Structure 1
């Protein structure tokens, strides 16, 4: 370059990414991958419980015979008709009447959340979330340019009176909630509160996104009807589901049950995003649902996870310092802990990693002022023996 040439100017990133932090859970998963670490950090299904034989048979069936090439071709944007019909029947059997025409198959439920943000939010719109909440949802809304505000909650979840006040004061466009076995707290919103939330949403014209990836993983108690099944929810509640926790997360299959008036916009958004979800994975999932007893598989998952939940929660009194509190979830994958005093669990994490045990600090799950004395523990990935050993290591780290 000659002396008179101007200095090169590097291209810049879009401003919308400036305020979106990397997920500490995803970053931590890479850090704890070394052998010997017992990680309570990631919300991962137990790989030894995957139905590999059933999945292999499903893929073999769709890649055999005259229909094999069709499974490798482009597909409809809204999803495989057979898969949508099977998922709709399963949702109906679980108490949420659903037709195939109400469903959109997505590349994991995370894509469903991204599509909803694109279809329902303009930059600068306000989103209300239960506090604390799923941190990837916070990432998604931040990327969409939304302003996120918290709704107060207690041990049973979101408080309807607090929601009504937030709606009055902030005028949010959308409410996001994980009402059953919530991530990160494990708590479940009672039916009466769900009815109250549906009533507020219908009265105020508020979209509600009901994220339900864990609902089938119940270990005690009776199921609570989906928020989308309550009176007034028909035109305002969008219900998200996933194959990741009851099937296999590597297939990246989710679904979205949407009111008729918003579904066309979601389909256009998905066309722009990826045209359609993997044809062969959808076909294999449909074949699996048609030929295998998923209810029996889920029952096996629940039996194993119940023991693991009991092992972790049962070890907490001896693991945690006096004055600590924790959730005792009826299902799902997580227990939520608060340590006494003004401790910062992010500062405690390196001490835990030195002892080959990991957890997720609680602060990233808050959109408002974080409670830094909190942490999340996932109990599904490890055997009961590994959980007991991990709790001993965690206790030693906290005592230090």
Structure 2
């Protein structure tokens, strides 16, 4: 038996018998940078935050007020775990506008799309199960899979997203046991690369998912933020063209990037057997997403305000992205390479000469500008010269000045 004195002599971590995934957990490398956000004069290209200057405060204020006035008891009481029926109907109409035909009963409302992915992982992944992720990838998805004890296998990408031919060759050579159970991708304006998967590759992914019986996870928080190029339908909208395609695609949507993250409203469209289990998992997580937030979101969507708001933010992000790219070209033409996105919030870049972005970040913070080193987006064998720049939050003037400071950090002047 362990004595109290022995317990007191241990370090705080050693005093508790944590579950294996939490014995030495890795926090979000992006969140670690937020201690610098409040520094006076800091220009941040780090967080994937929508611009605070572009929130539809008046429209959201009216929606919140209307929600409470219409049914205050429903706003204050527990609600249906799957989501308020009225909001689910509104989300079904929104999905219809995106080219996805569905019934409101097919939708599960989640507390942000990240919760949706966590619920899916809990229902599908046991320790040791194999999960595929595009690389580089959204760090919170990697973190959720790591904590589930998944065997994470990365999928090669290029400037257009997942290399489907390489994936097909890998899957065709795979033998039982250890068959992958899911593939995670952000196919439209990916986080972190900003890449958009072409239609032909989307259709090929569905065929691969059906043939190999892999759940294809389409995370789509940025799809409405297009400011250049031609729209591409969601993978889920293309799945019906492949026999059995809808049986192997799970779609996650969110209002966080296109309306406001404070609402914490996301949703999932999944095959019925998966959706039922996600609802059970959600019952043990938060019982239900905030009924007040759900009703406010429903009023906002039904008011028609989203369409005009999307035009506003997409136009602003076009200008901010353009200002950042122009400044990088002007101030650091030989020091940094990048791909121009057609929408979303991110520019993926690479430092020339094999320089380490982590070392540059230290000098950049001294000059009151910051970004996220690309190592945060890799499972292993990270490209240390890569970095992600978010143009959503800074103004055009801040984007230009931030690029000038970044160039100073690169040059060491």
**Corresponding residue for residue 52 of structure 1:** 57
Instruction: Give 2:383's aligned residue.
Output: 371
Residue in 1 aligned with 2:354? 342
SS across alignment from 1:74: coil
In structure 2, C-alpha distance between the alignment counterparts of 1:62 and 1:44, rounded to whole Å:
26
- The alpha-carbon deviation at position 32 of structure 1 amounts to 2.6
- Helix, strand or coil for the counterpart of 2:192? coil
- Encode CA deviations 1:134-183: one digit per residue, 9 max, x unaligned: 01100010011101111111111101122123323362111000000000
Aligned to 1:8: 7
**Pick from 112, 124, 128: which aligns with 2:132?**
128
Please say if residues 41 and 368 of structure 2, whose CA atoms lie closer than 8 Å, have aligned partners that are also in contact: yes
Separation in structure 2 between the aligned mates of residue 223 and residue 192 of structure 1, nearest angstrom? 13
Aligned positions of 1:143-292 closer than 5 A: 143-167=147-171, 168-169=173-174, 171-230=179-238, 231-232=241-242, 233-292=245-304
Secondary structure of 1:97's counterpart equals coil
Residue by residue, what CA displacement relative to the aligned partner does 1:315-339 show, whole Å, maximum 9, x if unpaired? 2222335263211000000000011
> What is the count of residue pairs matched by the alignment?
396
Is 1:64–2:69 an aligned residue pair?
A: yes
Q: Which residue of 2 aligns with 1:33?
A: 38
For residues 8 and 175 of structure 1, what CA distance do their matches in structure 2 show? Answer: 43
Shift of 1:19: 5.3
Contact 1:109 1:256 in 2 (8 A): yes
Q: Per-residue displacement from partner, 1:257-302 (whole Å, max 9, x unpaired)?
A: 1111211101101001111000110011111111242111101111
Q: Does 1:318 align with 2:330?
A: yes
3-state DSSP of counterpart to 1:337: strand
| Contact 2:113-2:268 at 8 Å conserved across structures | yes
Shift in alpha-carbon separation, 1:20–1:223, aligned structure 2, 3 A = farther
**Structure 2-normalised TM-score?**
0.93
Instruction: Give, in angstroms, the shift of residue 5 of structure 1.
Output: 7.4
- Paired residue for 1:296, among 308, 313, 316? 308
Q: Are the equivalent residues in 1 in contact too, given 2:36–2:42 (CA < 8 A)?
A: no
Instruction: Choose which of 373, 381, 393 in structure 2 pairs with 1:381.
Output: 393
Q: Structure 2: how far apart are the matches of 1:330 and 1:286?
A: 29
8 Å Cα contact 1:54/1:292 also seen in 2: no
Q: Secondary structure at the match of 2:218?
A: strand
String of CA shifts for 1:225-267, please: whole Å, max 9, x gaps.
1111223320001000000011110111100011112111011
Q: Which residue of 2 aligns with 1:332?
A: 344
Listed one character per residue, the Cα deviations across residues 28-77 of structure 1 (whole Å, up to 9, x for unaligned) are 02223212000100011011111111111111112225x21121101000
Cα distance in 1, alignment partners of residues 4 and 88 from structure 2: 60
TM-score, structure 1 length as denominator? 0.96
Shift of 1:119: 0.9
Deviates more, 1:51-60 or 1:268-277: 51-60
Residue 347 of structure 1 and its aligned partner are, at CA, apart by: 1.3
Secondary structure, counterpart of 1:229 in structure 2: helix
- Are the structure 2 counterparts of residues 370 and 19 from structure 1 closer, same or farther at C-alpha, using a change threshold of 3 Å? farther
| Contact 1:320–1:339 (Cα < 8 Å) also in 2 | no
